[in-house]
Each structure stands twice: as C-alpha cells, then as structure tokens.
Structure 1
Amino acid sequence: MDKRNQSTVTEFLLLGFGDLHNFKILVFTLFMTVHIMALTSNVLVIVLVGVTQSLHSPMYFFLSQLSLCEIVFTSNIVPTMLWLILVGHGKVSVAQCLYQFYFLGAPVIAQCLLLAAMSFDRHVAICRPLHYVTIMTFTNQLQMVTSCWFVGFTLTFFIYIFLRKLRFCDLNTINHFFCDVAPLLRLSCSSTTSVELTTAMVSFLVILSPFIFIVATYISIIHTILKIPSTSGRHKAFSTCSSHLIIVCTYYGTLSSIYIVPPRDNSINMNKGLSVLYTLVTPLFNPLIYCLRNQDIRNAVYKYIQSFRRRKVVL
C-alpha cells in the first residue's frame, strides 16, 4: 500500500464487551462492587501493616507493596472498563492508550518481582532462621522493594519508547477494554520487530525468571520442612508459606494464559474473560487470602474493630 494514501491514526476505538443489552447495569454494578471491595481490602492491608506493630515484619511489608501494585493496576484499568460497559465502546487518543499501557506494565512487573522477594523471605525464615534478622534488615527490605518498582517502571519504559515509534494507519479498532501490547502491534503499519523482541525479553525476565526462582526456593523450603521432626512444626512452617503459594499459582497462572500462551484466532472472548479475572477478581482475592488464612492480620482486624466499637459506645 502506498504510505502517502494512508491516514495517520490519532485515536483508537475500544470495543469493550460489545452490546450487553439489558445486562449493562447489572454487569456495571457487579464490576463496580468488586472493584470497590478490591480497593478497600488492599488499602486496609496497607493501613494495617503501617499502624500495627505486630505486622512490622518483612513478609507483611512485602504484602503491603503487593497491595499497592494492585491499587495502581486496577485504578488504571477498571475505570475504563466501567466506562465502556456503560457506553458500549469509546475512543481514546494514542497518547492516552500508551500511558495506560505504561501504568499497566510497571505494577505487573513490580508484582512479579515482589512475589519472588516474598519467596526469598520465606526461604531465609525457614532454611536459615538463625541469620534471618541479619539478612532481612529493614534497609535490605527497602532496597528490594525499591528495586522491584524501579525495574518495573524502567523495563516498561523501554517498551513504551518503542511503542511510541510505531505508526498507526487506517485501522484503529481494539477489540478489548484496555490498551495492551498485542492489539497495538496488530494495528501498526510500521515494523514491530523491535517491540516484539523487547517485549519477549522483558516477559522472560519478569515472568519466567522470577517463577523459576520461586520454584527453586520452594523446593529448598519443602526439603527443609520435611526434615523437621515434629508434625506441629512442619504444619506451622507449611502454613506460613501456603498463602504466598496460592497467590503465586493464581497470579502466574492467569498471567501466563494471557501473555505467554500463544493466542488463537477464536481466543478474543477468552482473553477478555481472563483479563477480567486478572484485573478484578485477583486484586480482591490476594488480600482476602492473607486476611482469612493469617492469624496476625485477623487479630489486627479484630483489634481495631473492637477499638472502634468501644469508641462508639463511649460516644
């Protein structure tokens, strides 16, 4: 095609979920409710970890950062999703689309690395308990968390720079409810090789590498736990890791289904469904797992509920 006859695209049309007919308000209300619950629960985790002395440990510090990732991620994606449910479809500028991708990719990468940091914390606590205090100092925790966020925003920035160099001509329809790499590459009328290579390398570094590290640490953890002579000791050690393992399996399972498994022509609706699970359910699921399965967090929640009730009685 003659490039002189191609019109430059300045905005994209997001198709969202299509025409939901009479279910529009129901779906909007359901998604909005789940989103509010997810935001509230993640903010609650951050506040509890910040104000409760008994939660001032590396595991809970990493958990609070995990919740911060969820807040940044969902606040970037869900408002657009809700807007598209109400209006059916909507237009966003190319610049807005790229910004949305940037603030999608950064917390996703940071979260992958934080899950690896949490597995390292559990490894040190169980396999090297005598050295735990000297290894997991607050300075080291802070450096690990800062590194996770820095790597997240830096690696995503490289992809963002390459995406900005792409040209978009004529076609501007994205059959999704947010801007992601794959649909942008399909719409580009210029070479996408550099973006594809960069995205592949980043995906390997931040999805597969941390997952391999987590698997390796848990092999070592399980090997150490099985050496514990008492049944109660083994149970206690396993219980400290179970919540993290559940989140790792849920997070990486969904992430791999979306970004690693090769897409099929008929997988658009499946991809949307997995993305809804990833953007709505998982952010609510993660803090609930820790709150329901962790005695320290349950005690902290109960303590503040009792304190609130006593204040209410006094008033």
Structure 2
Amino acid sequence: MAYDRYVAICNPLHYPLVMNHKVCVQLVTASWVSGVPVMVGQTCQVLSLPFCGSNTINHFFCDIPPLLRIACKDTFVNEIAVYVVAVVFIMVPFLLIVVSYAKIISSILKLTSARGRAKAFSTCSSHLIVVVLFYGTGTIAYLQPKSNQSEGTSKLISLFYTILIPTLNPIIYTLRNKDIAMALKNLATKFLR
C-alpha cells in the first residue's frame, strides 16, 4: 500500500505502467513466500518444546509468546528467534513504509496548490493511521521484553492487533468517502441528542 501511494503521488503519470496487475501479484506473492515458511518454522520450533503441568495458556489465542511461558525447557533460543523474526517482519517493513512516506511527504510539500496538498495528504492519511495502529501494537506485543509485560496487557494488546485493528480497517478507509462520513455524522448527532 505504501509503495502504491508512493507511485501514485511521486510518479502519477507512470502509475498505470508501474502498478499493473503483474506487479500487484508479485508484491502479494513476495509477502506470502517470505512470511509463511518463517512462521511455519517458528511454530514447529515452539511446538517441539516440552510442556509439563497445565497446558492451558492464559491468552485469547495460541500465539508463540504465551506458549513460551508454559514450556518446561529453557526458551532463551526461542525468545531470540521471536525477536529476530519480529525485527525482520515488523521493523523492516515499517522502516520501508517510513522511507516511502518521507518521500511522499517531500513530494507533497513541493506542490504549489494547497488543495492538491490537502488531497494528497487525505489519500495517505487512512493508510498511515492503520500502519501506526497495527505496527505500534505489533511492536509492543513482540519486541517488548517479557518481564515488562503483564498477562493482562499482553492479552489486551493481542486483541488490538488481531481483532480491533482489522475490524477498524474498513471503517478507517471508508471515512474518506463523503457519503459514509455524512452518514456517520448524522448517526452521531442522533445518538448525542
């Protein structure tokens, strides 16, 4: 999405040539081909750990950090693997998005028309909101040291990045639609009376 916005704002005349169907398929394929094997490998690594005592995790779903908490064996290597994967799959894409948006903002600020700048910023704002919400909670969930995070906080954060943010995505993206925005304003005024 960041690359799409970058091409649309920084190279608008080349957009149909650059962002064709083939490029979109390649971007999606690269995401799946790079992510799935790593996650399957990490899941197999964690599930090969011995679990003794209660196999009940105090969490909403079976994620890797809660599983590491109930393992009987030293999980230091597994925790390092989780951090490395989190850095690669959270921080690297986030940094690429930041660089992309730095170039986008630089291009937007060069526009002479205030209306053009406002339109360009509104094009990117919904994606930026989603990126900050998703990557912020993902970073807190996977990169915060285990000792600094309580069980309740961990569960709340996992609800954010697995349920709440994906649920909010369509709402955030449709707020740019004038009809939807007006309908929400009308609904809010009815409830506030």
* TM-score with structure 2 setting the length: 0.84
**Are 2:125 and 1:234 aligned?**
no
Q: Which structure would you say has the larger RCO, counting Cα contacts within 8 Å and 6 or more residues apart?
A: 1
Name 1:154's counterpart in structure 2.
Answer: 37
Residues 1-315 of structure 1: pairs in structure 2 closer than 5 A: 118-264=1-147, 267-294=150-177
CA RMSD of aligned residues (A): 2.0
Deviations 1:219-243 (A, max 9, x none): 1111110000011111111111011
Note the C-alpha offset of 1:206: 0.7
| Native 8 Å contact 1:162 1:194 kept in 2 | no
Tell me the CA shift for residue 155 of structure 1: 1.3
Q: Which one-letter code corresponds to 2:122 in the other structure?
A: S
Deviations 1:241-295 (A, max 9, x none): 0110010111112112211122346621122222223333212211001112245
Instruction: Flag as ranges the 4+ runs of structure 1 deviating above 4 A.
Output: none
Gaps of 5+ in 1: 1-117, 299-315
Distance in 1 (CA, whole Å) between partners of 2:142 and 2:67 is: 14
Cα distance 1:191–1:270, how it changes in 2: closer, same or farther (>3 A)?
Answer: closer
Change (3 A) 1:266 1:191: closer
Other structure's SS at 2:53 match: coil
Could you tell me which runs of 5 or more consecutive residues in structure 2 were left unpaired when the two chains were aligned: 181-193
CA separation in 2, counterparts of 1:294 and 1:153?
Answer: 34
What amino acid is aligned across from residue 288 of structure 1 in structure 2? I
Q: Report the TM-score, using the length of structure 1 for normalisation.
A: 0.53
Identity rate of aligned residues, in percent?
45
| Separation in structure 1 between the aligned mates of residue 117 and residue 3 of structure 2, nearest angstrom | 19
The higher radius of gyration belongs to 1
Deviation per residue, 1:173-230 (Å, 9 max, x gap): 3211211212211222234344223222211111000111111111111111000001
> Partners of 2:74 and 2:114 in 1: how far apart?
60
Please say if residues 83 and 143 of structure 2, whose CA atoms lie closer than 8 Å, have aligned partners that are also in contact: no
2:33 & 2:114 partners in 1: Cα distance? 42
| Pair 174,125 (structure 1): closer, same or farther in 2 beyond 3 Å | same
Q: SS in structure 2 opposite 1:200?
A: helix
